[in-house]
Amino acid sequence: MTGSALAQDRSDWPENFTVGTASQGGTYFAYGSGWANFIAENLGVSGGAEITGGPVQNMALVHTGDLRFGLVTMGPASEAVNGKSPLMPGMKMDNVCAMFPMYQTPFSITVLADSGITSISEIPDGARIGFGPAGSTSDSYFPRMMETLGVDFERRNGSWSDLGGQLQDGLIDVVAFAAGIPIPAVSQLEVQSSINIIEFNEQELSAVTDAFPVSPFSIPASTYQSLSDDSQAVSMWNFATANCDLPESFVYEITKLTMENNEKMVSIHKAAQTSIPENYVNNTVLPWHPGAARWFTENGYSIEPDMIK
């Protein structure tokens, strides 16, 4: 436990906390549970992760204070802040504050190798595509991307682990994953089956980056055994968020602990290699929690005053 965390007044700190993650078999759950345990052990506050429907639901639960923390992707966060959340249309979720950058979520497509599908244009009409849990980042954006690319499909939902199993059993044809890499469900799949990870070609890349809040992203060949070369995908940034009413000193200590111990974070999940302070610039959507902003500014990262709650 850090000295400063022990020495300060904790009278307004909560006795416990919960982090909203997403479905099992996905990166949010693995990252969020490990991070919650790390914070709980070091700050002496009881805490854990909760399985949720993902970023859309996490924004709502953190806004209302039902959850103290939530992991979110910038697309759904932007919609929620602007009152366009599919869960609560018209309600501006302005009580959710940014805490620190996590990683980028690549959008990637997986099929069984024996399907013969090697490109997006080869996905047959009426293909049954699994888009992850209902309301997840993947489910919010991937179907719209596929429509933009002219793919005709039947939409299926489920946890990543379930969809991996359904792909293996021939119950669906394609899984359109959006999760931090390596995705536990894909790593599991390739141990048991021969799979193709389908990339976006230049034209497809340009069409989706023009239409959606995503940017080009290359999945390194080392991520999966099935890749011999880097795979071209698109991605969206993820941030950890806090309810804006949480005490400044509490959020400061959590931000400090997370940002100053990247090696520990990477041991929780490899995706945390980009959970580093420099990536704070990728939040252009949410106000910063004053506690988080204090740590960033003390360490030489400038945040505009109007971006701090």
pTM for the complete prediction? Answer: 0.85
- Whole-number Å distance between alpha carbons of 12 and 21: 25
- For residue 186, what pLDDT is reported? 93
Per-residue pLDDT for 136 more than 90?
no
Pairing state between β 174-178 and 127-130? parallel
Convert the pLDDT of each residue in 51-103 to its tens digit: 998 999 999 999 999 999 999 999 999 999 999 998 899 999 999 999 999 99
Cβ atoms of 70 and 19 within 8 Å: the answer is yes
Q: What is the DSSP letter of 308?
A: B
Q: Assess whether the previous peptide bond of 182 is cis (omega < 30° from 0).
A: yes
Q: Which two tokens stand for residue 294?
A: 């204090």
Per-residue pLDDT for 6 more than 80?
no
Model confidence band, residue 8 (pLDDT cutoffs 50, 70, 90): confident
